[in-house]
Structures are given as structure tokens and as C-alpha cells.
């Protein structure tokens, strides 16, 4: 009997208040099920239930979908008890659930699907290693991501409000949410506040708030645009001015929050000693996003396993003599999107000299395009190479060295 046949597979469906676990043997026979509260005091109940089905010479392995969220406490408990714990991608268990003849949805069935994926994909699944440092970075990155999304919504609303009172507002400043622009919208939320403002007065105002980057020409331009826009003042204008000022306050607050979060992220990233920022296109935030989604790199025995986890590895599909590789829609989608954005940066060129930011990947991209690949296919090829690079940089904690581009490609 093989070691795989001597294992008991425990799939856990995770929730905020409670978890449901289903226990299977190597032949997918359901041995037991237990529902327990999501708190450390109740976790021994799961351990006790599983032990009832573990015969002498057998061992129990666990599969959890969310080891960084609702399942983190359980993952910690199990790993500290030295049980093998695997992270099961939700897309895999969802696919297993939908492949059933009768599609059903319940905590018990979800847990059973996790257990079945655990049994069939054991060697491919990454180990769950819920270390506090990586978890803290993940939490900070998630919070930053939420604030960025909220900030985007606020700026969109600001555009809407400004469009009512300043039809030509986009010509006022290069960025509507820049430091000087926000000061201007706060003090002059509508054209009524500019009625008695002279070119000289506005010039002085702009100079002070832009650290003397803006001149009288900009002040004259703004006042001329306001005049050519015509009368935009309506009844209860002061109430709508309050909305603009509220948006400005919230945007400024978010900027301060983002600065604080990024400082916290930098401090934690320094403890890891990675040099990811030495690579083209990776700055502090991107490096933290990679670490937040990957976690401890040592839980992936190879770059191929990381590529599979990120949904970058192609899926082989064949029938008869026809075999094709298809883009994977599984894997960690957040990590997949980070790699995609990073791949696009590799083929970018500088604004002034139009030189490739990364000569090696730019040449590789041109090579794939010349071979008949579509733009998206070429980008996926770059993503796969980037997985190898990031894996190596994190595993060795070394700096990135750009490979030399052959003369025939560089020309």
C-alpha cells in the first residue's frame, strides 16, 4: 500500500463564524463530517474527530482554501501541531463542484470538494505556511488596495462635481487631484469665489501652493477659462460647494493614510531582505504585492509550482492528433494580475529617447511577435519568464541582473 493510500484527506469549508470539515479516504469514501466554531478553543474537536478515522500507520492531511483570512487561525493550529496542511485554490474546488452531474451548494459538499482536490492534487498544491510576517504584509497590502480603490471613486466624484461648475476644469491643472489643484478646489469650489479675484492675487496664491512652480500665465489662463465657460452658478450653490470640499478632505485623508501604510510596508519588507526592487518595473508597492500573495517562497519547491499557483502555467488540451495550450483561468488572480502588470512594464519604452526599459524582455517580446504570437500571447510568455525571475530573486535574495541581449535582437 502506497503512502498516498495510507492518508486520510480532510477538506475544510471555511466561514467567519464556523467551519465544516469532511473526511475522505484515498478512495474518496466519506468517513466523517464535523461542523465547529471558528475559534482556537474548538479546533481540538476537529482533531479528535479526525483521529477516530486514522488507523495505525495512516496519517491525516488537511486542505484549506483561505489560509490568510477566515482559515488562518485553523492553519496556524494545525501547522503548530505538525500536521501537513495544503492551500487549495478556490477555483479548483469550484471546478470540482461544477463538474458533478447534479450541481449543488452546501457547506458539506464544498468541504468534500476541497477534500477531493486535496486527494487528487496533493503534490501540486502549495504548503500552507501562515507566518505572521507575511500575513502582516498581506493585511497591509489589502488595506492599501482598498484605500486606492476608494480614492479612485472619490476622484471620479470630484470630476463629476467640478464638471458642473468649471466646464473647462481639466485645463486648469495637469492632475485634478494634485496638491495645488486640491488646494484650489477647496478654496474656490465654484466660480462664484473667483468673482473678485485678480490675476495678481491668483498668481500669488498659486505660487505659494505650488512652491513657485506656477506663474501668472497659469492664473490668467484659469480666469480666462472661467470667463469663457459662462455663468454656471445655480441656486443652493453653497451646498454643492460643501460636497467639493468634502471630497477634497477625503482625498487628502486617503493620501495621508496611503503614505502611512506604505511606510509600514517598507519597514516589514526590510526584515525579509529581498531585492525585488532592483528589477525594472518593480517598486516598493509591487514588491510587497508579490510577497503578500506568494508568502514564504520556500513553500514552492520549484518555479513551475509557483507559476501554477499564479495561474500563469498554460493548460494542455488535446484530442486525437490535435494538441493546444490554453491560457489558465485558475490560480491566484491577484498574483496573476500583478505579474501581468509587471510584464507590460517590461516592454515599455522611455518617453524621451523611446528606449526599452528592459532591453532583454523587449527583445524577447519582439521575438515572440515575429514568431506569430498575438500581443496577449507574447505577454503571457513574458509573465512565465517573470515567474522564474521572481522565484529566483526571492529564493536567493539577490539583486536582479539584466541578461545581455544578443546583437541580432538588440539591433
CATH superfamily of 7-130: ATPase, nucleotide binding domain (3.30.420.40)
- The DSSP letter of residue 228 is H
* Structural domain boundaries in the chain: 7-130, 135-268, 274-410
Q: Is 87 helix (H, G, I), strand (E, B) or coil?
A: strand
pTM, two decimal places = 0.80
- For the segment 111-128, the average pLDDT, to the nearest whole number, is 90
Summarised one tens digit per residue, pLDDT across range 36-95 is: 999 999 999 999 999 999 988 889 999 998 777 889 999 999 999 999 999 998 878 887
What integer pLDDT is reported at residue 102 of this predicted model?
56
- The pLDDT tens digits for 313-353 are 765 554 455 545 556 667 888 999 999 999 999 999 888 88
Rounded distance between C-alpha atoms, residue 38 and residue 20, angstroms: 10
Question: Pairing mode, if any, of strands 59-64 and 30-37?
Answer: unpaired
CA 144 to chain centre: 10
User: Using CA atoms, how far apart are residues 103 and 251, in angstroms rounded to an integer?
Assistant: 45
315's grid cell: 493548460
Report how far residue 29's alpha carbon sits from residue 38's, in angstroms, rounded to the nearest whole number: 26
The DSSP output letter for 331 is S
DSSP, collapsed to helix, strand or coil, labels residue 148 as helix
Q: Does domain 135-268 have CATH number 1.10.287?
A: yes
Inter-residue contact 311 to 332 (CB < 8 Å) = yes
**DSSP notation for 2-45:** -TTTTEEEEEEEE-SSEEEEEEE-TT--EEEEEEEESSGGGHHH
Within 13 Å of residue 63, how many CA atoms lie on the same side as its CB?
Answer: 29
**Predicted pLDDT at 62:** 96
Q: Are 22 and 77 in contact (CB under 8 A)?
A: no
Read off φ and ψ for residue 374, nearest 5 degrees: -80, 170
| Average pLDDT score over the chain | 90
Q: What confidence tens digit (pLDDT) does each residue in 136-159 have? A: 999 999 999 999 999 999 999 999
* pLDDT number for residue 339: 96
Give the side-chain half-sphere CA count within 13 A for 44: 1
Amino acid at each position: 500500500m502506497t503512502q498516498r493510500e495510507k492518508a486520510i484527506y480532510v477538506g475544510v469549508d471555511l466561514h467567519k463564524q464556523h467551519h465544516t470539515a469532511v473526511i475522505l479516504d484515498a478512495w474518496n469514501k466519506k468517513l466523517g463530517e464535523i461542523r465547529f466554531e471558528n475559534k482556537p478553543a474548538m479546533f481540538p474537536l476537529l482533531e479528535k474527530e479526525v483521529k477516530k478515522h486514522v488507523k495505525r500507520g495512516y496519517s491525516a492531511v488537511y486542505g484549506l482554501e483561505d489560509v490568510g483570512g477566515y482559515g488562518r487561525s485553523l492553519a496556524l493550529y494545525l501547522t503548530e501541531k505538525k500536521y501537513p496542511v495544503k492551500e487549495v485554490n478556490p477555483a479548483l474546488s469550484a471546478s470540482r463542484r461544477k463538474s458533478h452531474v447534479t450541481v449543488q451548494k452546501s457547506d458539506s459538499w464544498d468541504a468534500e470538494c476541497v477534500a477531493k482536490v486535496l486527494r487528487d492534487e496533493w503534490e501540486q498544491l502549495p504548503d500552507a505556511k501562515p507566518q505572521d510576517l507575511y500575513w502582516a504584509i498581506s493585511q497591509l497590502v489589502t488595506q492599501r488596495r482598498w484605500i486606492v480603490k476608494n480614492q479612485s471613486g472619490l476622484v471620479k466624484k470630484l470630476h463629476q462635481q467640478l464638471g458642473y461648475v468649471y466646464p473647462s476644469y481639466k485645463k486648469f491643472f495637469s492632475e485634478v487631484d494634485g496638491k495645488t489643484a486640491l488646494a484650489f478646489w477647496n478654496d474656490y469650489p465654484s466660480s462664484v469665489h473667483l468673482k473678485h479675484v485678480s490675476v495678481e492675487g491668483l498668481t500669488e496664491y498659486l505660487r505659494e501652493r505650488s512652491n513657485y512652480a506656477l506663474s501668472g500665465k497659469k492664473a490668467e489662463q484659469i480666469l480666462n477659462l472661467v470667463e469663457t465657460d459662462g455663468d454656471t452658478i445655480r441656486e443652493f450653490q453653497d451646498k454643492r460647494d460643501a460636497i467639493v470640499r468634502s471630497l477634497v478632505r477625503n482625498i487628502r485623508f486617503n493620501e495621508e493614510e496611503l503614505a502611512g501604510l506604505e511606510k509600514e510596508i517598507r519597514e516589514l519588507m526590510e526584515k525579509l531582505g529581498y531585492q525585488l526592487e532592483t528589477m525594472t518595473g518593480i517598486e516598493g508597492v509591487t514588491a510587497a504585492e508579490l510577497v503578500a500573495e506568494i508568502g514564504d517562497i520556500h513553500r514552492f519547491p520549484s518555479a513551475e509550482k509557483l507559476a501554477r499557483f499564479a495561474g500563469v502555467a498554460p493548460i494542455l488540451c488535446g484530442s486525437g492528433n490535435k494538441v493546444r495550450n490554453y491560457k489558465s483561468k485558475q490560480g491566484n488572480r491577484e498574483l496573476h494580475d500583478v505579474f501581468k502588470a509587471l510584464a507590460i512594464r517590461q516592454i515599455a519604452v522611455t518617453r524621451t529617447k523611446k528606449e526599452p526599459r528592459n532591453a532583454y524582455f523587449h527583445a524577447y517580446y519582439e521575438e515572440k511577435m515575429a514568431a506569430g504570437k498575438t500581443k496577449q500571447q507574447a505577454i503571457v510568455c513574458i509573465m512565465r519568464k517573470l515567474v522564474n525571475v521572481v522565484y529566483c530573486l526571492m529564493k536567493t535574495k539577490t539583486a536582479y541582473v539584466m541578461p545581455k541581449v544578443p546583437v541580432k535582437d538588440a539591433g
